[in-house]
Amino acid sequence: MDKIFDERSILASHPCFSKEAHGKFARVHLPVAPACNIQCGYCIRKFDCVNESRPGVASRILSPSDALERVRILLERNDYINVIGIAGPGDPLANEATFETLNALHREFPDITLCLSTNGLLLPDRMDDLLRCGVKTLTITINSLSRAPAEKIYSHVVYKNQFLKGRTAAECLIHNQWNGLFKAVQAGLVIKINTICMPGINDEEIPLIATHAGNIGAHTMNIMPLIPQGKFKDIERPSCGTLTKLRETCGVFVSQMTHCTQCRSDAFGLLGEDRDMELEVLNSRIGEDYCDNVL
Ligand code: CLF
Ligand code: SF4
């Protein structure tokens, strides 16, 4: 399938999709999406979505207009920002504010790469909206291919006003995630799969997830270690050796991301740099006030 944009130039300048780019280009995360439509066993909902963020960190929610204002300031002061992402603190597709923000960004900054991370439940339903908003790179967290692990991982799913549990919830989420991945590839998006490695729950299935995702056309895979918390607080965190081995095995089927820093849903700067967006905005305002006073 032809890409709807120059995939090579996106990859060369996206800090998450390219290891080479991550020391040169930065991303901004806009925390405009508080609501979530599923419950993962490793998530405590008072913090950011663990599927794409550092556990135990809570971001302050911004309205779409506040988010846009921050982007204007950050882009003016930092010419190495190439990507604007929405990664929570809940699931971006479960929040209309996500689409409002993306639309406004796409209108005002048509050349910047818009990125989004999702649990995939609403992906088939919102694909056209994402394309209209100009999203180019997408992350889908997929933790299972079969029903048994999914039933252990997800305690409920809320889909089309129905509260689903057990087998029905697992089947609904798995179907939508894989169908969403297929549709996103068909639409020409550049896609990363995030998979949380949970020993004894889904670790044996991860190579199958990699095979299937690679066959469908995902560009890269990010295998992340479980941080034991919530319902999964007693499950052992996978060792570095386990992760390295899994990445080697899965790398045969789909390229592996190894430089993820599990950033916050309001992260800004180079990966791992952790600059404070609010401080940057404040500095900009102080600068303006200072100039207004001395001129
Ligand atoms: Fe953000 Fe995610 Fe886009 Fe990157 S993060 S929405 S793909 S712009 Fe990057 Fe952060 Fe790891 Fe995510 S280091 S948690 S992989
Ligand atoms: Fe938490 Fe993210 Fe899972 Fe929602 S999708 S329950 S925010 S980890």
Q: Where does the pLDDT of residue 13 fall: very low under 50, low under 70, confident under 90, or very high at 90 and above?
A: confident
| pLDDT (0 to 100) of residue 271 | 81
Q: Are 276 and 268 in contact (CB under 8 A)?
A: yes
Q: Which helix (H) or strand (E) holds 93?
A: none
Q: Whose CA is nearest to atom 2 of ligand 1?
A: 117
The response to whether residue 41 sits with its C-beta less than 6 Å from ligand 2 reads no
Q: For 277-291, what is the mean pLDDT?
A: 68
Q: Are 73 and 104 in contact (CB under 8 A)?
A: no
- Answer yes or no: is pLDDT of 15 > 80: yes
Shortest CA distance to 16 belongs to which of 26, 6, 7? Answer: 26
Burial class (CB in 10 A: 0-12, 13-18, 19+), 240: exposed
pLDDT tens-place string over residues 190-218: 999 999 999 999 999 999 999 999 999 99
Q: Whose CA is nearest to atom 2 of ligand 2?
A: 49
Rounded to whole angstroms, the Cα distance separating 30 from 33 reads 8
Q: Are 149 and 158 in contact (CB under 8 A)?
A: no
Q: Where does the pLDDT of residue 22 fall: very low under 50, low under 70, confident under 90, or very high at 90 and above?
A: confident
Q: For 142-169, what is the mean pLDDT?
A: 97
- Answer yes or no: is pLDDT of 171 > 90: yes
- Answer yes or no: is pLDDT of 94 > 90: yes
Verdict on whether the full-model pTM lies above 0.95: no
| pLDDT (0 to 100) of residue 291 | 53
Longest dimension (CA), the chain: 68
Q: Are 145 and 174 in contact (CB under 8 A)?
A: yes
Q: Average pLDDT, whole number, for the chain?
A: 90
- Answer yes or no: is pLDDT of 3 > 70: no
The response to whether residue 87 sits with its C-beta less than 6 Å from ligand 2 reads no
Cα torsion at 209, 213, 214, 217 (round to 10°)?
180
Which of 25, 47, 52, 53 is the best mutation target for the ligand 1 pocket, counting ligand atoms within 8 Å of the beta carbon and taking the most? 52
Q: For 40-54, what is the mean pLDDT?
A: 85
**Strands 154-159 and 38-40, bridge-based pairing:** antiparallel
Q: How far is the CA of 37 from the centre of ligand 2 (A)?
A: 8
Q: How far is the CA of 224 from the centre of ligand 1 (A)?
A: 12
* 3-state secondary structure (DSSP) of residue 294: helix
Q: For 1-9, what is the mean pLDDT?
A: 65
Other CB atoms within a 10 A radius of the CB of residue 250 amount to: 23
